[in-house]
Chain A
């Protein structure tokens, strides 16, 4: 141990996630440069912000008070009914499609190729924003609620099937064994061994997804897929900012209401 000469340790460096100081400063420099580049690319300038502040003040002024006149209220009512109806129909259609997809995407149930297909469907559905899906649906089936229903149903599959598949994968094997033991076929195993275990979860997820679909169905109208979104877009296009604010207020109210309702219902189911 003659080589083991401990030098007097007096210095201490605070711990860092980086290999050494040089690396750390390089990383910081890169981050700073990146942000400057981004800011420049987005053309953020002091002047623009100043001008924006002024027109922002103007906008707020023309938004208040929100316009809840009779014609406006009627437009909101029509739009909102369509919004809520779309969310309900799309949730049901989406869930019905999701059920087989979920079973396909559960590793412990589906054979490998089927599993791959299931996962792929889920990934595609999750990857695209609801408005992208909606805009394509509009091109395929034309303006209106049908496009909205298609888009929302499609988005429901990615969410619902993913979560349900995860639940199916965590399922209690013992109960499945029991059904197999009495000689159940694959179908019977699913029917008696798995479905009862996940029913409460299916109901809970459905309610949750309905809440999300309400949120989405308030905006798909912006690309023409039905609901209150088109009303909102029109009000902006016609510079009726006080009406726009009224629409936004109603949207917020409905979204919050759906959130509360969904939370209450889900607690009752569980």
Chain B
């Protein structure tokens, strides 16, 4: 279970990207985080595995306080968090198989990493995963020869082979066309369900979030302003997340935007989590 409490991040540029964000992702939940560009979604995900150092707040993963770990212990906890990137971030000049196996780098020593000596069961699992993501027979193809969709499939396999306790997914489909986006999302969520991995996923396309997630979190200017099921994400709420427009109580709001504002939606949501 991932539990984040009052996470804050202020960059050196004095940009307050996160202003006290609390969130829990438990069991095998699929949680989507939506929000306008610059809301702090990527920053949040990167603070969880400390690719970005949070300014304040705590992150817990299955009883380990990630934010309390010294720098040297980070690799060990990162092994338990699989990450999937918007730009895929495959090592372009390595083969598909090498990229998938890089998910096991936390379990081999330096010499083995250099010689690409991974445990036989990891190699077996890599073959299974490649088949699962539909890339059977691609193991010796170099990553730079793949299409965007294929690359993201490798990205998924690389994250899943870690046997992570959570998948952190940052806009997995922004570099893909709409059709491929849906296929990749379906694949990702199916695998997560099969393997019982909870998923925290940043996503731009609200429709994909609604279709593939069980819980949606709305982030705006570094704060959570909505948290609920896809059904509760009415158009009014959406406008509130994306445009900051005030929100009426009798949602779903349609064409007109009501002027009566819910005093502080975020407080309600916070109460909801804590309660």
Contacts and interface: CB of A to CB of B under 8 A. Distances in A.
- A and B from one complex: yes
B115 A12 contact: no
A11 B123 contact: yes
Nearest to B126: A12
B127 interface: yes
A96 B126 CA distance: 65
A9 B97 CA distance: 13
B227 interface: no
Q: Would you call the interface of chain B mostly helix, strand, loop, or mixed? A: helix
B132 interface: no
Interface in B108-124: 115-116, 120, 123-124
Q: Would you call the interface of chain A mostly helix, strand, loop, or mixed? A: loop
A15 interface: yes
Nearest to B124: A10
Contact of A10 (B116, B120, B139): B120
A11 B116 CA distance: 12
Nearest to B142: A15
How many of chain A's residues touch chain B, expressed as a range?
A: under 10
A69 interface: no
B140 A11 contact: no
A12 B120 CA distance: 9
Interface in B74-116: 95, 97-98, 115-116
Contacts of B124: 10
B115 A11 contact: no
A113 interface: no
Nearest to A12: B123
Contacts of A12: 97, 123, 126-127, 139
A14 interface: yes
B120 A15 contact: no
Contacts of A9: 127
Nearest to A8: B124
Q: Which of A9, A10, A12, A14 neighbours the largest number of chain B CB atoms within 10 Å of its CB?
A: A12
B140 A10 contact: no
B115 A14 contact: yes
A109 to B, nearest CB: 39
B123 A15 contact: no
B186 to A, nearest CB: 26
A15 B98 contact: yes
B255 to A, nearest CB: 58
Contacts of B95: 15
Contacts of B120: 10-11
Contacts of A10: 120, 123-124, 127
Q: Which of A10, A14, A15 neighbours the largest number of chain B CB atoms within 10 Å of its CB?
A: A14
A15 B124 CA distance: 17
B98 A14 contact: yes
Interface string A95-107: 0000000000000
B140 A15 contact: yes
B56 to A, nearest CB: 44
Contacts of A11: 120, 123
Interface in A5-29: 9-12, 14-15
A14 B139 CA distance: 10
Interface string B117-151: 00010011011000000000001100000000000
A12 B122 CA distance: 10
Contacts of B115: 14
Given A12-B126, A15-B98, A15-B140, 15 more contacts: A9-B127, A10-B120, A10-B123, A10-B124, A10-B127, A11-B120, A11-B123, A12-B97, A12-B123, A12-B127, A12-B139, A14-B98, A14-B115, A14-B116, A15-B95
Interface of A: 9-12, 14-15
Closest 5 CB pairs of A and B: A14-B116, A12-B123, A10-B124, A15-B95, A9-B127
